[in-house]
Amino acid sequence: MKKRIGLIGDNSIKYIDTLLNILLEGDVVSLIDWRIPLDVSLNALHQVGINECYIDSTKYRDTEKAKKFNITLFDANQKGAEELPSSFYEKYKTIFTNQSKDDALIFFSSGTTGKAKGIRLSFAAINHNVDAIIDYMRPSKNDTILITKTLTHSSTVVGELFVGLKANAKVIVEPTVTSPTFVLKNIKKYNVSIWCMNPTLLNIYSKLLGCVTHDISSLKYVFISGSIADKQLLEEAKRNFKNVIILNVYGLTEAGPRVTAQRISSVDKLGSVGSSINGVDIKIISEDGEILAPYSIGIIHVNTLSIMNGYLNGLGKESLYRGWLN
């Protein structure tokens, strides 16, 4: 029987290796942000019946809560950016060759202050989303993807790590706490061409590039997601990133996660998050339940091949509105 196993640690080669190895064993990985206090994280896992956990040794401390868990420590020992080894690509292909509806990953989108809410994604859902992201992102073996966002979010794991592994692109992973100046220097050092970030990071790097000259000539695309990027920020970023194409995308963890994206080949209104990706249908519904025309203001509903298996609290697709995510 499959075990559900927690994983807590910062971005590192060892963290990714641990993630892939748990999946290779046929178990389900529950990803927890290392920046959350350990007892809070363990309590969230315990609430949903998970009592086994792999933890980066630098993030571990012996507490009464920890004594109730079967804990395995691993030593990340990563101080800066590193390239993923070739063996990871073979592990990924072995893990995700099937289209199983069985759980693969669990992402906790909330629950740090209340009851834990874990979102269960299957191998099939992840496969569909990875393929759909590759379809619009168009990464190749000649590209280099830089990962700086935490590898506990579905957007980073599915939309960056797994996309890079499946597309055979070079993948560089940075610890989340890294000087922005070092990150920009690594763009030149590793010939980075694709970078994904949230609006907060976009604001930081845009302002830095506006003040100090850095060679980011290898960078082709920056994809923005995670929250709303206002038009002023996007206009500033387009100026400061110079020849880099900045594209907005949107996702929901429950949807695998990617839902819509601006395309490299089209020009969308500034601030738009583009159109639906492959395998995704979108409806805009009024408060009265009527389907509205495109560009209307209403309640967005999403149906996707990458829809979640359900929540760890026992609710599943029966909690959706006629199979659609509200």
pLDDT beyond 50 at 241: yes
Q: Is 191 left (phi over 0), alpha (psi -120 to 50) or beta?
A: left
Residue 151, pLDDT above cutoff 90:
yes
Bridge pairing between strands 280-285 and 299-304: antiparallel
pLDDT tens column, 257-267: 999 999 987 76
| pLDDT tens per residue across span 159-170 | 999 999 999 999
18: left (phi over 0), alpha (psi -120 to 50) or beta: alpha
For the domain made up of 4-319, the CATH class stated in words is alpha beta
pLDDT for the residue 316: 62
| CA 153/CA 149 separation, integer angstroms | 8
Q: How confident is the model at residue 97 (pLDDT cuts 50, 70, 90)?
A: confident
* pLDDT of 198 over the 90 cut: yes
Nearby residues of 196 by Cβ (< 8 Å), 6 or more positions away:
145, 147, 149, 155, 156, 159, 160, 222, 223, 224, 225
Four-residue CA torsion sign, 303, 307, 308, 310: positive
Q: What's the maximum distance between 2 C-alpha atoms anywhere in the chain?
A: 56
Q: What is the pLDDT confidence band of residue 318, given thresholds at 50, 70 and 90? A: low
**Long-range contact pairs involving 42-48 (C-beta distance under 8 Å, separation at least 24):** 42/6, 42/66, 42/68, 42/69, 43/116, 44/108, 44/111, 44/112, 44/116, 45/6, 45/69, 45/116, 47/111, 47/115, 47/116, 48/4, 48/116, 48/118, 48/312, 48/313
Q: 270, 248, 246: which is closest to 260 by C-alpha?
A: 248
pLDDT in tens, 49-71: 899 999 999 999 888 888 889 99
Q: How far apart are CA 182 and CA 166, in angstroms?
A: 27
**pLDDT at position 115, please?**
57
pLDDT in tens, 280-292: 999 999 988 899 9
Looking at the DSSP bridge assignments, the partners of residue 324 are: 321
Q: For tokens 């859902």, name the residue.
A: 125
Q: Please, which residues bridge with residue 53 across strands?
A: 6, 71
The reported pLDDT for the residue numbered 65 is 84
Taking only the tens place, the pLDDT of each residue in 67-84 is: 889 999 999 988 899 999
211-236 pLDDT, tens digit per residue, is 999 999 999 999 999 988 999 999 99
Q: What is the pLDDT of residue 98?
A: 74
Q: What is the pLDDT, as a whole number, of residue 112?
A: 40
The pLDDT value given to residue 324: 87
* Average pLDDT score, the chain: 91
Domains of the chain, residue spans = 4-319
Q: In what order do the strands lie in the sheet with 28-32?
A: 70-74, 52-56, 4-8, 28-32, 103-110, 117-122, 310-311
